[in-house]
Structure 1
Amino acid sequence: MINKGYLLGDRYRIIDTLGEGGMANVYLAEDIILQRKVAVKILRLDLQKEPQTLARFQREALATSELSHPNIVMVLDVGTDHGLPYMVMEYVDGPDLKDYIRANSPLHLGDIIRIMDQILSAMSLAHKHNVIHRDLKPQNILMDKHGNIKIADFGIAVALNQNSVTQTNSAIGSVHYMSPEQTRGGLVTKQSDIYSLGIILYELITGHVPFNGDSAVSIALKHAQEPIPSIRKQDPNIPQSLENVVLRATAKDPRDRYDSAKEMKDDLDSSLEPGRANEPVFKPTHGNNDDETIILPNFKSDPNSNRLTEESRIQNDETGDKSKVNHSSFTQALRKHKWWWLFVGIAAVLIVGLMFFVLNSNNHKDVRIPDVTNMSEKKARNKLENVGLKVGKIRHRSSDSIDRGKVIETSPTAGVEIKRGRYIDLYISDGAGMVRVPDVTGDEYEIAVHKLEKLGFEIIRENQFSSNVPPDHVISQSVAADVEVKPDQTTITLTVSEGKNHRPKDHMTKLPDLTNYSLKEAQEFAHKHGLTLQVSSAYSNKVKKGMIISMSPAVGTRVPRGSTISVNVSEGAKKERDLTAIKNFTVSYEDNDEDDSDDKRGNHVQIYVSDDKHSIENIYRDLYIKKDMNFSIPFELKDGPGQLKVVRDGQTILNEKVKND
């Protein structure tokens, strides 16, 4: 094992252990040069002097580095550290396909085809380079957060032009997905990978592998001798054309399988077409293989795992002859006492069946989904697991009523009765979802739209002539910059310049002195002449409230229809008693132990103000803090006392009257 913090090859700092295998260990590391996370596979210390293991490790590096495909884990670097070989690969932050199936089964047929298309596309490239994987299984297929597939672990891959293609007396791969010819140690071809792909497709559709057994040998025998269980008997809604893809890919005789991964992909992509709905069941043309089935001796599997480790493969290669003798003796004993063994077998089947029935009936008892609304993710997970349920997908969305980091709802919803052991999805609140509006005035329209739509706003465009703003640039925006609003509830209108109006002079309007006009009169004048009035306001001790203080362009200017006229309207004289109080206070930061996410935003603070201009029902300020913060809030209290209310993470921490002192 490599210790955390160790700097491998003077570049890759070990962060954590991702997995341990029979041949190598895999670590999460940081590339200190490019400052990104990577996965590092390092040959086990106790195996670095074994030529066979070293050759397999080098073959994986070579095979994977030659395969550049978006659905194959990329090899970034290969090297040695103090004589210890290592391989650096892209880090895929997500589950393997096995875990994904467990959490999401049954899958939508469209998702199944999308996943398989990526796998088949990758294997089509591998086969094009004459590389066969030999250990295709969901555990070796990773999925990132965006649902993109990455095939990994080419540790036992082999090139078709190598002598090792005929691995006699050596079965390599995982028995649940292994082709019949692999169990015999026969010729391993591209069709062997296609068989494994067919089993993976079967598992994607049904949620389980076709064959199980008490030992690796019994499972291998089923693959070699028994037909694939009917998918349509388990789910009649599955089209026959889709089941036929599985049946053809998993035919016992390789000659009945697809010639290539691309051919399988093309057939799969058309399997849901209506024209294939009544397709007949696929029947192989070469029948079953009549050769004697010889299961090779190195099916030594961990009872808790179906993975054949590289270590067991190496040991079994060395002891193959001895195991064959033992297997032969065991077969003779069975033939000699066949009736006694038959009786014991029947009794064992009955006992196992009874135990399975009892356990199954207990494990699948219906339970009611508890209500975990407004709980932290950790508490919700504990409550669900206490009643025998499991947490599936974690999704995030905004909520006005549920604080950030708390559960909004579950899927299925609370109160529904379902089988024990099923997966429940959680919807976690990201808070109210307030966004600060950017300033896009002066920007090109397309750039402004990109900025706003990226934040979730809907955009409306209005055109008008302008002699000051270049064509197709934003003159103004309906929601002022730096205002915090909810994008899903806000539409922003952008007024966009059409450039100067080049119409004849008889369409021009000479501006009068609007300082003699009230705002209403100025609006009537603008409407009559096809002009747009842009209004601002200011206090004035000289100009009566509601009258125009100033204007732009200046008096006497001739402007075309569609032009914008800016006016400043008086609010009257500013009275000192209008601004009568300033409230100073501090909101302290409290670390939320329940929020252990990497991107936690801190305490959610909401400030409510009641004075002459604000209602206590509306949020005055909405923000997140990660340290103690001081606030200074002005109150206009001409008509009586005001009120200040401060809420932190859903709890009211300040609620008091504000008076005119």
Structure 2
Amino acid sequence: MLRIRYDVVQLIGDGPVFRSYVARDRVQGREVCIREFKPPFDKEPEFVNAVRKCVDSLGDVKHPSVERLLEVDEDEGTPFIVGELSAGSSLAERIRRLAPFSVSVAVSTAVSICEGLTALHDAGIVHGDVGEPNIWVSTTGEARLQLAGLWQAYSASQTAGGVVLPAMAPSLAPEVSQGAMPSPSSDVYGVGVILFHLLTGRMPYHAEHPVALAMKHISEPIPSTRSINPSVPVALDRVVQRALAKNPEERYQTAAGLLSDLRMIRDALRFGRKPTTSDSPRRDEKPTQVAPAMSAARRPRSKPDEKEWEESEPRDVPTWLVMAMVFLGSLVVFMLAGWLFFNLSRPRAIVVPDVTRLTLREAQDRLQSAQLRVRVARRESNEEVPADTVLESEPPAGAKVYEGNTVQLVVSAGSRFVDVPDLRGRTLDSARELLDTIGLKLDERIEEQRDRDMEPGTILAQAPPPRQRAERGTAVRVTVASDRSTSTSAEANKRYLFTIRIRLRDIESSVMLRVDLADSRGTRTVYENEHSPEELVEITAEGQGPQATFSIYYDNELVKQVTKDSAEPDTGEET
């Protein structure tokens, strides 16, 4: 019993990574397939999570020729995959018992496989391991693909890639052995290998070890099905040859193209016509090279003893060519080892999670848990988003990057405006420290005013006044207590005329313009009226003290602050 839901009935398969069972789902009232992770893979959380992502990506593919994987679950520390139960037996077992098949049965089986692959390719999914162990055939002959796309998870394990390689080698496309990633074209190559086996009862290439077999897929000529089974139509042999092309560009690019030709051949066989395909040989196309030992001209129509036929094959290969083949074999072994090292252990592809509107700490935790690095690119003022909240990321959410890549964040610095604190009663050092923490600064032009009740150096007044909104970077001017009469106190009581010119920009309709003036006496409104876009407004107001700060509001929303000094001449510049 797993998860108090699945009653395990019987063992149906024991592969290199998973052990498969038939189980009864007590909730849904149906039989399902349970694939239990075998040691040591059940203790590799990264591999289990990678498999879970592959299973989730298959959720939108619903086709009778593609097995549905429902979820990845866990019971007492042992993870397992829940999938639909496929009736019948594996294609590998069926071929072992019944091959070779008739041409019509072989073509119908290949058509069923290609229909499933077409559904996967249309969804942007590469199966990656189209081999006989991963295909289930029902009693009516319908094929169903299993474990589609799971190859993407092998790089998350230290050993899974090497463990599954022997099972993948018989149908591994040459370019994949040489380091390329699986593609729809490499899936087509796997179908070509299966179709060859169905028609002839033999694999196109034989070797004792996976590396040697991969080398043959890369270097040996493509054998002809007709040299082994003369009943195979010429058009079908040409289809198999194209599916097994060494160069992926010469192959069918997706399963849909191969499916089209196989359906044409199937329909021709049904109605007694000569099979043809949509891809006729070009006039300048060279004939496909056939291995000498498989030549139809040398092969008698009645099948002799295979051992006797192999012994009669002439040995006319020069020594230098043998040495060249040995060198090529060593090179392929090296390249395959490089593929295993650089691809099976390469960083995983990761989808960047959405971290917008999260706090910086939350975003860092989420990205780091996805094995990504984090860097704050810049901070931007934002009137709506609180400080230390993520505004955007680069790459954006949903983009695919490799594990260990850096995601750069744009973080909100909060509003451009802050509330001016009450500095009265503080010392200059204390006021300076407080203003620094909120983005304001202390004006170094300190005014003094005689006051016998306050300690010398204590702040008596300030401009802008407390609780007024001020733009970050604004200098707050203060008056401090002094025990002596100075000319600066008289200066603070003088009255000056200040002029400001405002051009109403960045608005689309009329707004209520309000201007407040802050000086040593406090803050008061000096202008309020409605104006249109691009209108120029000149305001002159009387202030007390040599400095005044104008706060400009559009419809009661603060948009700018301007500080004017009596010593500055009126330049006539617009604000």
Q: TM-score range by the shorter chain?
A: 0.3 to 0.5
**TM-score, normalised by the number of residues in structure 2:** 0.46
Identify which of structures 1 and 2 has the higher relative contact order when contacts are C-alpha pairs closer than 8 Å and 6+ apart. 2
**TM-score, normalised by the number of residues in structure 1:** 0.40
